[in-house]
Amino acid sequence: MIEAQQENAARSLDMVLYDSIRPVEWRDGAVRLIDQRLLPARKEHVICRSVADVAEAIRNMTVRGAPAIGVAAAYGVVLAVRDRYAENPETWRQAVNADLELLAKARPTAVNLGWAVDRMRQQMERLEAEPVAPLLNEASAICQQDVDANRRMGELGAALIDADSAVLTHCNAGALATAGYGTALGVIRTAFQAGKIKHVYADETRPWLQGARLTAWELIEDRIPVSLIADGAATYAMAQGKVQWVIVGADRVAANGDVANKIGTYGLAVSARHHGLSFMVVAPTSTIDRSCPDGGSIPIENRAGEELLSFADARVAASGAQAWNPVFDVTPAALVDVLVTEMGVLKQPDAAKIAALFN
């Protein structure tokens, strides 16, 4: 009895400290998103009541991070079907197709978006009676399975890290970027709890500052020591012996193991290899796109130049300067030391190992 109470207390402490953030939730018939554009200054929610609201929230970065986008899209499909079915229970399937196309195109690089919409579509095609309740179940399953995958990847990734390590991470691959717990930050959370990580260096991640705003916020909430560095300081931090691992998430992993992730990831992988450090990518199998043979076939999102030319809505770049703003890059598989998925760890991932993972 006392043991069970102690176990429950430990579990709820673990929830409070390491797993309390839920960026995407279904509440009262709508999708509730933490507005990630406002953090850390304000924690506010945006309520999406229609599929168009969800698509816009993905486009404008209210919700971001590949798995979180996938979960939001899954709930977006529920909203689309609910509304089309209410309009006309006979013809809703045709009407909903256009909604799903629009949703799937909201952002191009994170494959979890198309993956979640496809999974919901497959479920939809199997249904004959009232579709909303079973689709809501499917979306909730996608959400819960993502948290479970992150927990599992946390254990698998942390097992690879030696005691007293310091790590570098890029962008935000945390709870905010997923259904909860995080991919790269999931490994960092688990390894920190196990006493293996003593310090985290977070790249600020221009221009959206996901590192400065979101990763630093999550780690501070969990009392994990974090130092923010300018993106340009990462290679120097490696040269100074400050980190032993670079740990990142992914937006899409091609069939040969090439990895698309936040712009700057490729440079970190090159620098890590140069300095003899280990480079870990943490991504659930929903992020692996076996229909993309290699990184060259991954669509890379270019966002408005204004994101680079201005800061906090004030122009900072010299007037007349143009901007090129690709927001992801591709790291060749050869630079990845470990790919951690919920189905297992692939050292030096390649096409054969990825195919074997799915078989």
Give the residue numbers marked as catalytic.
Answer: 251
* Total binding residues toward ligand MRU, as defined by CB under 6 A: 17
Give dist(CA 192, CA 200) in Å, integer: 10
Q: Which is nearer to ligand MRU, 131 or 284 (CB)?
A: 284
Contact pattern from residue 313 through residue 342 relative to ligand MRU, giving x for each residue in contact according to CB under 6 A and a dash for the rest:
--------------x---------------
Q: Which is nearer to ligand MRU, 100 or 175 (CB)?
A: 175
- Residue 306: partners with Cβ closer than 8 Å, 6 or more residues away: 323
Give dist(CA 258, CA 275) in Å, integer: 21
Q: Rule CB under 6 A: is residue 152 a binding residue for ligand MRU?
A: no
Instruction: Using alpha carbons, select from 71, 47, 51, 73 the residue that is nearest to residue 144.
Output: 71
Q: Which stretch binds ligand MRU (CB under 6 A): 11-19, 62-70, 79-87, 237-245?
A: 62-70
CB distance 75 to 100 below 8 Å: no
**CB 102 → ligand MRU: shortest distance, Å?**
19
Residue selected from 34, 175, 177, 226 as contacting ligand MRU according to rule CB under 6 A: 177
Q: Which is nearer to ligand MRU, 25 or 301 (CB)?
A: 301
Residue selected from 23, 33, 46, 64 as contacting ligand MRU according to rule CB under 6 A: 64
The one-letter amino acid code at 196 reads K
Q: Rule CB under 6 A: is residue 67 a binding residue for ligand MRU?
A: yes
Q: What are phi and psi of 242, to 5 degrees?
A: -80, -25
What are the residue ranges of helices labelled H in 173-241? 184-193, 216-221, 234-239
Residue selected from 66, 103, 161, 200 as contacting ligand MRU according to rule CB under 6 A: 66
CB distance 79 to 50 below 8 Å: yes
Angle at 228 between CA 227 and CA 231, to 5 degrees: 135
**CB 92 → ligand MRU: shortest distance, Å?**
31
Q: Rule CB under 6 A: is residue 171 a binding residue for ligand MRU?
A: yes
Rg (CA), the chain: 20
Q: Rule CB under 6 A: is residue 218 a binding residue for ligand MRU?
A: no
Q: Rule CB under 6 A: is residue 210 a binding residue for ligand MRU?
A: yes
SS3 182: coil
Q: Rule CB under 6 A: is residue 173 a binding residue for ligand MRU?
A: yes
Helix (H) or strand (E) holding 342: none
Give dist(CA 157, CA 200) in Å, integer: 15
Q: Rule CB under 6 A: is residue 203 a binding residue for ligand MRU?
A: no
Take residue 8 and report the two structure tokens written for it.
């429950």
Residue selected from 65, 207, 264, 295 as contacting ligand MRU according to rule CB under 6 A: 65
Take residue 22 and report the two structure tokens written for it.
């839920």
Residue selected from 215, 261, 286, 331 as contacting ligand MRU according to rule CB under 6 A: 261
If you count them, how many residues does the chain have?
359
**CB 224 → ligand MRU: shortest distance, Å?**
17
CB distance 143 to 24 below 8 Å: yes
Q: Which is nearer to ligand MRU, 135 or 216 (CB)?
A: 216
Residue selected from 31, 250, 259, 268 as contacting ligand MRU according to rule CB under 6 A: 250
Instruction: Using alpha carbons, select from 306, 266, 31, 284 the residue that is nearest to residue 171.
Output: 266
Q: Which is nearer to ligand MRU, 23 or 131 (CB)?
A: 23
Contact pattern from residue 220 through residue 239 relative to ligand MRU, giving x for each residue in contact according to CB under 6 A and a dash for the rest:
--------------------
Residue nearest to ligand MRU (CB): 249
Contact pattern from residue 34 through residue 53 relative to ligand MRU, giving x for each residue in contact according to CB under 6 A and a dash for the rest:
--------------------
Give the up-direction half-sphere exposure of residue 20: CA atoms within 13 A in the CB hemisphere. 14
154 forms bridges with which residues in the sheet? none
Q: Using CB under 6 A, list all residues that contact ligand MRU.
A: 64-67, 110, 171, 173, 177-178, 183, 210, 249-251, 261-262, 327
